[in-house]
């Protein structure tokens, strides 16, 4: 299988707007297992119960190469807390296998110390083609309009490989051809 990019993680940190009475990152640590493969281990603390009155907001932002700000929103998804915990299929099923995360159907999400034992994620969890750049993955929980929990991953400089550059040029070429025919392809921009 071709690896289209190199993934590095610059940081895993709580969002500064997090409420310290709701969440504590505890001893969670991130380590690199292999090229494009990482592990998370340790214990974090949910310091209150969270039901469907809380909302989970997931965002992926791309850094502007000129301003260096993460101001290009690529994805935003929002769900009630329990609905998110029951329906998320990319990360939580495996996390439940390597931690004491409550099973599907538990609502409200309890006040609990969650211990994670080598949760591994790798490039198979990312789309096959990602434009080169620096990205921020942000997960936040809100009660009413107030943020109570937030985590940020910064992935600096996802580097294009020769194969990805060739594929990107093909996509751009196809996009231009369709544009000349009057077909809009906004989702490629």
Label each residue of the chain as H, E or C.
Answer: CCCCEECCCCEEEECCCCCCCCEECCCCEEEEEECCEEEEEEEEEECCCECCCEEEEEEEEEECCCCCCEEEEEEEEEEEHHHHHHHCCCCHHHHHHCECCCCCCCCCECCEEEEEEEEEEEHHHCCCCCCCEEEEEEEEEEECCEEEEEEEEEEEEEEECHHHHHHHHHHHHHHHHHHHCCCCCHHHC
Q: What is the pLDDT of residue 180?
A: 43
pTM comes to 0.72
Query: What is the average pLDDT score of the chain?
Result: 78
**16-46 tens-digit pLDDT:** 889 999 999 899 888 877 766 778 899 999 9
pLDDT digits (tens, 9 = 90+) for 39-87: 889 999 999 999 999 999 999 888 888 898 998 898 899 999 999 999 9
Q: How confident is the model at residue 173 (pLDDT cuts 50, 70, 90)?
A: very low
Q: Which fold has domain 5-160?
A: Ganglioside M2 Activator Protein; Chain: A, (2.70.220)
* Residue spans per domain, the chain: 5-160
Q: What is the pLDDT of residue 90?
A: 81
Spell out the residues 6+ positions from residue 19 whose beta carbon is closer than 8 angstroms to its own.
146, 147, 148, 149
């Amino acid at each position: 299988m071709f690896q289209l990019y190199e993934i590095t993680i610059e940081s895993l940190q709580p969002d500064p707007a997090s409420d310290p009475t709701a969440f504590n990152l505890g001893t969670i640590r991130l380590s690199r297992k292999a090229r494009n493969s990482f592990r998370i281990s340790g214990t974090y603390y949910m310091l209150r119960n969270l039901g469907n009155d809380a909302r989970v907001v997931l965002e992926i932002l791309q850094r502007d190469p000129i301003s260096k700000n993460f101001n290009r929103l690529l994805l935003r998804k929002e769900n009630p807390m329990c609905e998110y915990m029951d329906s998320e299929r990319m990360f939580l099923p495996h996390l439940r296998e390597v931690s004491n995360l409550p099973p599907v159907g538990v609502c409200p999400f309890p006040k609990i110390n969650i211990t994670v034992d080598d949760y591994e994620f790798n490039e198979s969890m990312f789309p096959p083609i990602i434009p080169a750049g620096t990205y921020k993955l942000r997960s936040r929980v809100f009660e009413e309009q107030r943020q109570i929990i937030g985590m940020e991953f910064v992935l600096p400089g996802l580097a294009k490989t020769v194969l990805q550059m060739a594929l990107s040029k093909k996509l751009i070429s196809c996009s231009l051809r369709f544009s000349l025919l009057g077909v809009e392809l906004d989702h490629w921009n």
